[in-house]
Structure 1
Amino acid sequence: MSSTAATLLPLTARGARPLVGRVRVPGDKSISHRALILGALAVGRTTVTGLLEGEDVLATGEAMRRLGASVARTGPGAWVIDGVGVGGFKAPDQTLDFGNSGTGCRLVMGAVAGCPVTATFDGDASLRRRPMRRILEPLVRMGATVVQAAEGDRLPVWLAGARDPIPIEYATPVPSAQVKSAVLLAGLAAPGQTVVIESEATRDHTETMLTHFGADVRVEPQGPHGRRITLVGQPELTAAPVTVPADPSSAAFPLVAALLVPGSDVVLADVMTNPLRTGLFTTLREMGAAIEEVAVRRDGGEAMADLRVRASDLVGVEVPAERAPAMIDEYPVLAVAAAFARGTTVMRGLKELRVKESDRLAATADLLRVNGVSVTIEGDDMIVEGRGRAPGGGLVATHMDHRIAMSALVMGLASEAPVAVDDAAFIATSFPGFVETMRGLGADIG
C-alpha cells in the first residue's frame, strides 16, 4: 500500500462529549502474526479465533500461503492453517510483500532462515527505510545467506535459508522481541540448543506460543532485568488452537482518550495483560489513572482482563528506561497523556523509537509542538511539560505511521481546538475500524 495524493485520508478530531460504552479492540497483532507462522510450521490444522484482520497480519498470512501452507478465513477473525512442519517451507514463486509490517517481515525472515529455500522480502516505502541488519546478522551466523539486499541491508532482501542450520548462543545487542523471535524461529530447524540472551526482558509471546505448539523452551533469569531463552531444536510442532486476546497496543488509544475526555467511562474487553506488554498501564496508574481490571483470566497461556477506564486528573512522572521494552509502541499516546497531565513527564531510553515506521521519537515531538505543547528531546529522552490542557489546532504529519495518526486523533478529542492528521490511511495496518470504534464511544472524528 502506498500513500499518494489519490489515497490520502485526512481526518480531524474535535472535542468530544464523554466517551461511554464497552468495546473490544482488534486482536493482538503480535499474537496474530505468531499464530499464522507457527500454525504454518506445525503438523496438522491450527484454528485461530480473534485474529487481527489488519493489513500487516494479512500480509503474513499471504506469505505463509506462498511458502506452502494452506491459510483460509472461515469467518470474522476465524482462520485455519494447515501446516507444512518445521523446515517444510517451499520456495515461493513470488516476492513476499509485507507492506508496512516490520514484525511480519522480520519474524518470517527467521522462519525462512531455517529452511533450504530462497525468498525475496519486500515492503512499502516506509518498511524499505527500516533496518534489517540486526535481524540478518544472527541468521547468517546460523547458516543463512543474504544473496542480495538494498544499501544498508534494507529491503528488498533476497535471503537463502540454511541447508544445515547451526544452533547458536546469541546475545541481542538491543532489547528486541523481533530479533529474539527471528533467532528462535530459525533455531527450530537446527539440531541441539539455540540460546538467546537479552539484557532487558522483551515481550515473550514467541516463547509462550512455541510451548503451546509443543516445543521445548526454557526461560531463566539473566542479570537484574534480562532473560536467557533456550530452545531445543528440531521439535515436531503440533497444531493447537489459538484464541487471540485484544491488543493492548490498540487498546491504548481508546483507553487514553477515556482518561482525558471529562466524564468518560469505558470498558475495554478481553485485553491482554501480559506484564511484558503493560508498561503503559503501569505508567498511567502512576500518573493517577483510574484503570480497573475485571474478569481476570488466562487463555492459551496469555493473561487477559476487561479494563474499566474512567476520566482522571493526571500528574507528570518519570518513566524509567528499563520499562521501554514493555511499552515501546505506546510512547506516542503516552506523550499525549503527558501533555494533559500537570507537571513534567520524562520518558527515558527511547532510542528504539527512531527506527519504527517513522522516526517515531521526532514525529511524536512534532505532534505535540504543532498543538502547542512544550516538548524537548535530550539524547534518547523525551520531556513533556504538561499543563493539564492542550491548545490543539495543529495539522499533524503522520509520516505513514499508524500510531502517530491515532495518537494525534486522541489528542484532538480532548484539546481546546480540533487536531487534524494529513493521512489516516495507515491506521488500517494495525487497527481496522479505529474511527468507527471511537465514534461508537461518542468521539467526533471525521
Structure 2
Amino acid sequence: MGSLKLYPKNLKGEVKIPPSKSMAHRALICAALGDSVSKITNIDLSDDIIATIDAMRSIGAIINNNSEYIEVKGINSKDLSLDRDYERVIDCNESGSTLRFLIPIALAFEGVTRFVGRGNLGKRPLNTYYEIFDAQKIEYKYKEDILDLVTSGQLKSGEFEVKGNISSQFITGLLFALPLLQGNSKIIITTELESKGYIDLTLSAMKDFGIKIINKDYKEFIIKGNQNYKSKDYRVEGDYSQGAFFLSADAIGADVNILDLKEDSLQGDKEVIDILTRMGVSIIKEEKHTKGKVQVLKSTLIDASQCPDIIPVLAVVAALSEGRTEIINAGRLRIKECDRLNAVTLELNKLGAKIEEKPEGLIIDGVKEFNGGVNVWSHKDHRIAMSLAIASIKCKEPIILEEYECVSKSYPHFFEDFKMLGGSFDEWSMGK
C-alpha cells in the first residue's frame, strides 16, 4: 500500500459527485430480482458495488457492464433457466451492505450459501440473523472474527422482531427478501429506529421496481408475499455521503461547486446540509450545483444516529470551528471498516486538533488551523482517508497519508477529483 504527501492547497472548481453507493446497491439488487432486463445508469464500479454485482450473479442474475450503463437480466426472467438448488459462494469483500442485504435474499432460494469477506467484515455482528435462523431451524455455521458463514435452508414468511437501534441493513435485507416468499410477513421494530433515511431509500427503490410495502410509522412493516420485482431502467442519484467531503471543504475555506446532488433526496446523509447550516455555512443551491459559503464556523451538537457515514469529515469541520462541538449517538462508528471514533481522534489530534474520545461519541474543541508536518494513517478506511485529505488543505505543513488506496471502496476517483480541484500531492516513498 502506498502513501501520499499532501500539500496545503485550497480547492476551487466544479466536481460531479459520484452516484449514491446506497442507491446503487439497492437498484442493482432490485433489478437482479426482476422479471426482465433493466438498465442502471450513473453508477460507479467501486469495490462495494462490484461485491454486490458479483453476489447477485451468484444468486443467478446475468449482469453485464457496458460503457454507459449496467445491464441486468433478473433472475425471474421468463427465459432464464436457473438451478436454484445448489451451493453458491458470495464474496462480500469488505462490504457490510452486501453481506447483510444478501443473507436473507440468498435464503429466499433453496441451497447452501457460503459468505466470505475480508478486513473487519467478520467482526460486524450478525446476531439478528442468527436469532432468525434459530427460530426457523435454518442450519448455519460461522467462524469468530473472520467472515466465513455457511447457511442451509430456506427463509419462511412470518413475523420478525428486529431492534431498531442496530444497523438498518438487517431490516433492508429482510425487506428485499420477504416479498419473494409464499406467505405474508411483518417486521416489528422493537426499539426506536435509527437510520430511518436508509430504510426510506430501500422502500423508494423497491417501490420503483414494483414492490409494495406498508410502513406503519417505522414501527411495523407489512409485506405481502408472492410479489414480483418489475424490471425497469433506473438512474442512480448523486451521493450525499461523498458530497459531504467537498461541502465540508467549502466550510473550511474551499470554493467548490458540487454537481448532481438531488435537492429532494431521501438519503439520510443529506443531513450534512442541516448540520453545516447550523455551523454557520450558507448552502447555496442553484439549478445544477450546490456549494457552501461561510463567515465564521461555530460549534454545534451533532447526532450521528441517522447519518454515521458523514461523521469523520464533519469532525474535521468541527475541529476548525469556534467553541466545543459534541458528537453523540455514534457508537456504531466503532464497527465500520475501522473504529472510526478512535481513528478520527488519533489522526486529527496528530494534526493539532483537540478531540476527546467518548464511548458513544466525540468532544471537539475548535482550533484555528491544523499544524500538519506528520504522518497520518487511513486505518484502511476510505472515509478516514478522504477526511484526512480534506483536513490537509488547512494544515500549516504537508502531511503524509499512509494507505490511501482504500478510497477505492466507495470513491475510486477521489484523488483525481481532489487534484482536478487544485489539491496537490506526490507519491511518497517510506523507504521500505
Normalising by the residue count of structure 1, what TM-score does the alignment of the two structures yield?
0.87
Deviation of residue 89 (structure 1)? 7.7
Matched, 1:291 2:283: yes
Runs of 4+ in 1 over 6 A off after TM superposition: none
Aligned residue for 1:206?
202
Name whichever of 390-399 and 96-105 sits farther off: 390-399
Deviation at 1:55, TM superposition (A): 1.1
CA contact 1:43–1:85 (8 Å) conserved in 2: yes
How far apart are 1:175 and its partner, in Å? 4.1
Q: 2:299 matched to 1:316?
A: yes
Distance 1:177 1:311 in 2: 34
Contact 1:95 1:120 survives alignment (8 Å): yes
| Residue in structure 2 matching 1:160, options 152, 171, 179 | 152
Letter in 1 for 2:169: Q
Distance 1:82 1:261 in 2: 46
Tell me which residue corresponds to 1:381. Answer: 361
Q: Tell me which residue corresponds to 1:330.
A: 310
- How far apart are residue 271 of structure 1 and its match? 4.3
The total of aligned residue pairs comes to 416
* 1:93 CA drift (Å): 5.5
CA contact (8 A) 1:393 1:419 kept: yes
Indicate yes or no: 2:76 matched with 1:85: yes
Identify which of 175, 180, 183 aligns with 1:189.
180
What is the rounded CA distance, in whole Å, between the counterparts of 2:334 and 2:374 in structure 1? Answer: 23
Q: Distance in 1 between matches of 2:170 and 2:375?
A: 35
Map Cα deviations across residues 132-179 of structure 1 (whole Å, 9 max, x no partner): 323443355456432x21126x511112241x6132232325242201
Partner of 1:99: 93
Where do 1:266-305 residues align within 5 Å?
A: 266-271=257-262, 273-274=265-266, 276-295=268-287
Say if 1:110 and 1:139, in contact at 8 Å, map to a contact too: no
Match of 1:3 in 2: none
Contact 1:353 1:359 in 2 (8 A): yes
Q: Shift of residue 312 of structure 1? A: 4.6
Cα shift readout 1:200-245 (whole Å, capped 9, x = no counterpart): 3521211111111111111232xxxx54322222201110221101
Opposite residue 12 of structure 1, the aligned amino acid is K
2-side partners of 1:22 and 1:189: how far apart? Answer: 43
SS in structure 2 at match of 1:316: coil
Could you say if the C-alpha distance between residues 285 and 144 of structure 1 is closer, same or farther in structure 2, counting changes exceeding 3 Å?
farther
CA distance in 2, matches of 1:30, 1:381: 24
Alignment check: 8 A CA contact 1:408 1:420 kept: no
Residue 22 in 1 paired to residue 14 in 2?
yes
- Indicate conservation of the 8 Å contact 2:240/2:267, yes or no: no
Tell whether the 8 Å contact from 2:36 to 2:230 is kept in structure 1 after alignment.
Answer: yes
State which drifts further: 55-64 or 173-182: 173-182
Bigger drift between 382-391 and 352-361 goes to 382-391
CA distance in 2, matches of 1:40, 1:143: 27
- Percent identical among aligned pairs is 24
- Counterpart check, 1:120 vs 2:111: no
The equivalent of 1:177 in structure 2 is 168
The aligned counterpart of 2:213 is: 217
Distance in 1 (alpha carbons) for counterparts of 2:405 and 2:335: 20
**Change in 2 beyond 3 A, CA 1:94/1:246:** same
- Identify the residue that residue 104 of structure 2 maps to in structure 1: 110
Structure 2 Cα separation of the partners of residues 132 and 110 of structure 1: 12
Alignment partner of 1:33 is 2:25: yes
Match of 2:53?
61
Q: 1:396, 1:421 within 8 Å by CA — same for their partners in 2? A: yes
| Distance change (3 Å), C-alpha of 1:393 and 1:129 | farther
Higher mean C-alpha displacement, 127-136 vs 61-70: 127-136
Q: Does 1:236 align with 2:228?
A: yes
Letter in 1 for 2:214: R
Structure-2 separation of matches of 1:288 and 1:261? 12
The runs of 5 or more residues in structure 1 that have no matched partner are 1-7, 296-304
SS at the partner of 1:326?
A: coil
Alignment gaps of 5+ in structure 2: 427-432
Superposed CA RMSD: 2.2
Offset, 1:267: 2.8
Alpha-carbon distance in 2 for matches of 1:314, 1:185: 42
Deviates most, 36-45 or 268-277 = 268-277
For the 8 Å contact 1:113–1:139, the answer to whether it is kept is: no
Distance verdict in 2 for CA 1:410–1:207, change over 3 Å: same
